[in-house]
Structure 1
């Protein structure tokens, strides 16, 4: 979730948890759909259990666990539409974040590019939906995969009539064919959601078959409870 929340602890409701778990299970039934999609389209998806849902360094699950899942429909031209959901701390009557987005991914020489627009929706709440455009370029240098990207939310009533800019750089380096990788990330934000805000993390992941285990250290310069340093563990599955 991207809007400011209060810091009172609120456990994720069993209704939300069960609903997102059903969504995650649905992710793994999608390959059957992919078989009927023809050669022009392909499906992919993921389901994740994480000990703390952090977005740009801030905890949106009140430092509690979260259940997440996503589905992507990709066309061979490079265009795609996707959806992603997560349980969150209660916000304006909602305990779910639902992201809907679409865009285009392509390449320029040895670089990969990605541009699109995303809608952040909080089912059960009023006047909280807002939009953001994003873009990134990715490449590989000496076994290090990197991505430089940005996201921009123009001034909208639901984010206080201000705009917001976020810029980030991420990198990952695998250890041969062991399945282990070391990962790093740094981001800068200014506007509606932060003033000269920095966030960063460093971690280790292990991938096998369609599963990935991860642990990372996350911190920000906000000094707030939701942005204080923490160690986050996760397990995800993809197809």
Structure 2
């Protein structure tokens, strides 16, 4: 936490510009098909996000009225850098949304054709009550397992504020030895996100951190961009 062993507090400010989502929707019998250059689904009630990472990306999503769905999202087609090619295939079930309790569960397969040692599976599940959600995911990869919890609260009244908290545990099959002779085989990290609309912008702040400090950060491989405590400010403005 802040104040412990002189952790690093980094402050970033930036402007993110987002384009209007490009999604094509079609009916195929009882199924709804979505093709697009932006992720059409956020699995596990926001826990598992299909991120845009490469220059060329896209995917499809096929949903049945019963709640079952399957799809594929490629955040990087590997056109400019073949080693970055990634294919994420998923299968799941989501109870049709209403004003009461909803739920979702499923499985994602992350595939890296040129880097097969990074292939992994992830199980996810989530429940929702109105606009608030609780989700969990468990990932099994080569030489490690990762478990994550997410709490997403929609605090519309009276603050008009969105808040999400994410906490994760990471366990390595083999310890990572540090320069001071210590080792790391298990660690935790977390993040807190707050955002709200302001005029034509959306203002957000994120605090993230982990329980690794000092030389231990050389073994960090968690969900955050930084091992140490950090604070990030973000302003978003849509183009359309």
| TM category, shorter | 0.5 to 0.7
Cα pair distance change 1:94/1:169, threshold 3 Å:
same
How far off is 1:203 after superposition? 1.9
Structure 2 Cα separation of the partners of residues 84 and 231 of structure 1: 28
2:87 matched residue in structure 1: 98
How far off is 1:35 after superposition? 3.2
Q: Does 1:77 align with 2:66?
A: yes
Q: Which blocks of at least 5 consecutive residues in structure 2 are unaligned?
A: 1-17, 40-46, 77-81, 174-184, 219-225
Q: Which residue among 19, 23, 35 is the counterpart of 2:26?
A: 35
Q: Does 1:181 align with 2:157?
A: no
Q: Which residue among 124, 127, 141 is the counterpart of 2:117?
A: 127
Give TM-score scaled by structure 1 length. 0.56
1:231 matched residue in structure 2: 232
How far off is 1:137 after superposition? 1.7
Cα pair distance change 1:214/1:102, threshold 3 Å:
farther
User: What secondary structure, in the 3-state scheme, does the structure 2 residue paired with 1:217 have?
Assistant: strand
Structure 2 Cα separation of the partners of residues 134 and 120 of structure 1: 13
Q: Does 1:204 align with 2:195?
A: yes
1:5 matched residue in structure 2: none
Structure 2 Cα separation of the partners of residues 151 and 44 of structure 1: 27
Structure 2 Cα separation of the partners of residues 216 and 230 of structure 1: 6
User: What secondary structure, in the 3-state scheme, does the structure 2 residue paired with 1:94 have?
Assistant: helix
Cα pair distance change 1:214/1:84, threshold 3 Å:
farther
Q: Which residue among 165, 168, 171 is the counterpart of 2:149?
A: 168
What CA deviation, in whole Å up to 9, does each residue of 1:132-156 have, x standing for no partner?
222222224xxx6121323242xx6
Cα pair distance change 1:83/1:192, threshold 3 Å:
farther
RMSD of aligned alpha carbons:
4.5
Pairs aligned (count): 182
Structure 1 Cα separation of the partners of residues 113 and 73 of structure 2: 13
Contact 2:33 2:60 in 1 (8 A): no
Instruction: Choose 1 or 2 for highest CA Rg.
Output: 2
What CA deviation, in whole Å up to 9, does each residue of 1:96-150 have, x standing for no partner?
543221111127993221111111122432332121222222224xxx6121323
Cα pair distance change 1:69/1:78, threshold 3 Å:
same
User: What secondary structure, in the 3-state scheme, does the structure 1 residue paired with 2:118 have?
Assistant: coil
Contact 1:219 1:230 in 2 (8 A): no
Structure 2 Cα separation of the partners of residues 236 and 79 of structure 1: 34
Cα pair distance change 1:139/1:188, threshold 3 Å:
same
